[in-house]
Amino acid sequence: MTVIKDRAQYIRERLTAALQPVQIDIVDDSHHHAGHTSARGGGHFQVTIVATAFAGKSLIQRHRLVYEALQDAMREEIHALSIKAYTPEETGV
């Protein structure tokens, strides 16, 4: 198992490479869950991402694209992930 030192940066890099977002915001909420046995050391994150890759996709399809980009980290490094995925047209970006 490879331990990721900066999980938020890792998430940013993976999502940028996979989806070329025009905007991405990541909030690390892990400190709110420190010591929870169910987390097993994984982090808690909120991701808001704006990308043209989401055009014509349902909410579930958008979330699947994000999970696919992060799939290797979802087993160990990320315990909880809240996703808000938009197209640039939906946000005016």
CATH 3.30.300.90 fits 7-91, yes or no: yes
Q: What is the pLDDT of residues 29-68, one digit of tens each?
A: 886 555 555 445 568 899 999 999 999 999 999 999 999 9
Q: How far is CA 32 from CA 12, 24, 68, 80, in A?
A: 21, 22, 26, 12
Q: Where are the domains of the chain?
A: 7-91
Q: How far is CA 28 from CA 1, 12, 82, in A?
A: 21, 12, 10
Q: What is the pTM of this model?
A: 0.83
